Amino acid sequence: MSPTATAGAWAPEHVATVLRVAAGYTRQSKAKADKSEASPQTQDEAARKKAQERGCSFKGNYRDIGVSGYDPNAKRKAFERLLNDCRDGLVHEIIVFNVTRFSRREPKDAIPIVLELFSLGVTITSVSEGSFSPDNTMELIMLIMRLDASHSDSRMKSQAIRGVKQGAKALGGWTGGAVPYGLESYPEVVVQEIDGKLVPVTIRRLRPAAVQEDGTDQAGTYMKMVDRIFEFKDKPWTGKKNAHPASVGSIVAWLNSERIPAQNGGAWRERAVKRLLTDPRMAGMAAEPVYAVDKGGNPTRNVKEYRILRGEGEEPISVGEGLISPAKFFELQDWLAGRGRGSKGGTPRKYLLTGMNRFYCECGRPKTGSRDVYKCSRPAGMVEEGTHEGGSTIQQKDMDAYVGARIMAVISNAHEDDPETTDTIVEAMSRLARMTENPRARSERASLLGERAQIVRSVEQLYSDLRIGVYDGEIGRRQFLADKQSLEARLAAIDEKIKEVGTPDLPPLPIEQWTASEDGDPVGPTSWWGKASVEDRRMLVELFVDRITVRKAESRGGFAPVCKIEDRVTVQMASSRANEGVAV
């Protein structure tokens, strides 16, 4: 008997096994805060050992850390690379610690991937559950059953956690995450009626933090920030080099100059200070963050704003004891949003039309001020197809006078029975009312309108999901109707609350004052416009103008411009029609 026939090491089937290439797939839903990643290391080592046991050469581990296996929209880049290597014949066996590492998605989402791998001859091996090979139908059924059990387990855990958090929110409980700067959490027992019985429930609440051992007092630091704003916000500031003392930038500079550490122990940044000062939890109101999205529409970790959580009556839910009162918080938001500043504070402006999101070049870019002209903000040398070549400028003095004349023409004709003029006057009255109304009411209405817009987007997404088949089947249909009813009820409650907040009464416009002029020229040197400050003129532009567009001159102006300003400039006056479809 030949050695080839007797030695198991030379058996054809063993040669085939040795030539097989295995790769491990490691996934962990959340990266460890200390970056230790002990669980992924355990998975890596287990996959390597399993490959040796099965006589495979080991290609290495493909790792997705901080990626959900449950979310169908999660981007598992390493998993996609592994699939591509399987398609290219570079990997013949995938080894996972258990099938939950492979996928926690619904079987209908995971099965197509499994079937594709099996069609490529790829075996799926679980360290704890065995191997599932392409040529065994029973093993495929067993794998599907495990995937279904994995998905059900994740779904039940998710629903349980969501239910606990929603219950805590409804009771005014803090539901986790980083404790806001200057606050601390503590347990509190509240009694809740569940199935007709009074049951004690422990929730966590927030309150001002005590003085810390290192000598820093976060609560006191926050109050110093707020006190600084309220001390300076109504005082004129004519400094040219330094920011207004009540501005976020000035507060950041002050904090860092005093060597006061931020929550992470480092230096303060404007984003952190702005986020802290706009957090409703500092006023004892429950809130959740609204995250900014990237260019692809994917949520980021940057907090864009906060949404105040409200109870059945749409009143803000209390999350505990705040550092400031809700009324003071809303007044603070008014300052931070730039409203209410008027001509009382801030560096005097040189340019009338810039910085209001109303003044644009024909190419769509904002116009900026430069010496005695307004110019297109497109960088020099940049070429954009279909737009003007080179720069585009217009004289500041002529531009300001033309816009002022257009506004005064509307104001002077306020009493005429012209639909367009009437609409502009009414819209200007509405804007003036919003500028001068109580800051708390204005901020509360803005918060409610923001929540309403979010609910409307959720309703639109609901119907989009219905169209693509997410709610197919009897169970799905019931879930759709339940979600629809819940969103419509929330929308009705928000609309009712908006009605309660109401809209401010329309104030009379001081038309006689604005149109007064000794020589009859409404924008001449003896007119109100001629004597008014830039800030007062800017107020009129904000009241009466929606958009200004400037076209590039056909030829250079020089001392005798050929192109008249009225041929280059389009002024779109204020109109309520521009806001149609938006609740007010």
Q: What is the pLDDT of residues 127-158, one digit of tens each?
A: 877 788 887 766 666 666 665 665 555 555 44
| DSSP E strand boundaries for 371-469 | 373-376, 393-395
Q: What is the pLDDT of residues 244-260, one digit of tens each?
A: 788 888 899 889 998 88
Range of the domain at 485: 439-503
Residues 222 and 145 in one domain: no
Residue 68: the pLDDT is 55
Q: pLDDT grade, residue 27 (50/70/90)?
A: confident
Domain-ending residue, one of 314, 336, 358: 336
Q: Is the pLDDT of residue 408 over 90?
A: yes
Residues 42 and 124 in one domain: yes
Q: Are 320 and 309 in contact (CB under 8 A)?
A: no
The rounded distance, in Å, linking the Cα atoms of 530 and 286 is 49
Q: How many beta carbons lie within 10 A of that of residue 83, not counting itself?
A: 20
- Backbone φ and ψ of 445, nearest 5°: -65, -40
- 178 lies in a domain? no
Q: Name the more confident of 437 and 87.
A: 87
Residues 377 and 300 in one domain: no
Q: Above pLDDT 90, what percent of the chain?
A: 18
- Backbone φ and ψ of 546, nearest 5°: -100, -40
Q: Which tokens in the block code for residue 162?
A: 């969501």
The rounded distance, in Å, linking the Cα atoms of 404 and 60 is 71
Residue 312: the pLDDT is 64
Residues 122 and 225 in one domain: no
The stretch 218-243 carries a mean pLDDT of 78
Residue for token pair 């531009």: 399
Q: Name the more confident of 230 and 30.
A: 230
Q: Which tokens in the block code for residue 260?
A: 């006061």
Q: Name the more confident of 232 and 101.
A: 232
Sign, CA torsion 532/533/535/537: positive
Residue 557: the pLDDT is 54
The model's pTM is: 0.45
Residue 509: the pLDDT is 86
Q: Where are the alpha helices (DSSP H) in 171-285?
A: 218-232, 248-257, 270-277
The rounded distance, in Å, linking the Cα atoms of 535 and 344 is 9
Domain-ending residue, one of 484, 503, 522: 503
Rg, Å, the chain Cα set: 33
- 356 lies in a domain? yes
Q: Is the pLDDT of residue 504 over 90?
A: no
Residues 522 and 455 in one domain: no
Residue 339: the pLDDT is 46
Q: Flag the least confident range among 62-71, 123-132, 198-207, 284-293.
A: 62-71
Q: What is the pLDDT of residues 197-220, one digit of tens each?
A: 676 666 677 888 876 665 568 888
Residues sharing a CB contact under 8 Å with residue 403, sequence separation 6 or more, in sequence order: 352, 353, 541, 545, 548, 569, 571
Residues 409 and 556 in one domain: yes
Domain-ending residue, one of 503, 525, 551: 503
Residues sharing a CB contact under 8 Å with residue 448, sequence separation 6 or more, in sequence order: 314, 494, 497, 498, 501
In the chain, the amino acid numbered 559 is F
Q: Is the pLDDT of residue 572 over 90?
A: yes
Q: Name the more confident of 193 and 24.
A: 24
Residues sharing a CB contact under 8 Å with residue 546, sequence separation 6 or more, in sequence order: 358, 572, 573, 574, 575, 578
Could you tell me which residues are beta bridge partners of residue 393? Answer: 375
- Segment of 51-55, 139-143, 498-502 carrying the highest mean pLDDT: 51-55
Q: pLDDT grade, residue 471 (50/70/90)?
A: confident
Number of domains the chain is built from = 4
Q: What is the pLDDT of residues 310-346, one digit of tens each?
A: 776 667 788 888 899 887 888 888 778 764 444 344 4
Residue 1: the pLDDT is 39
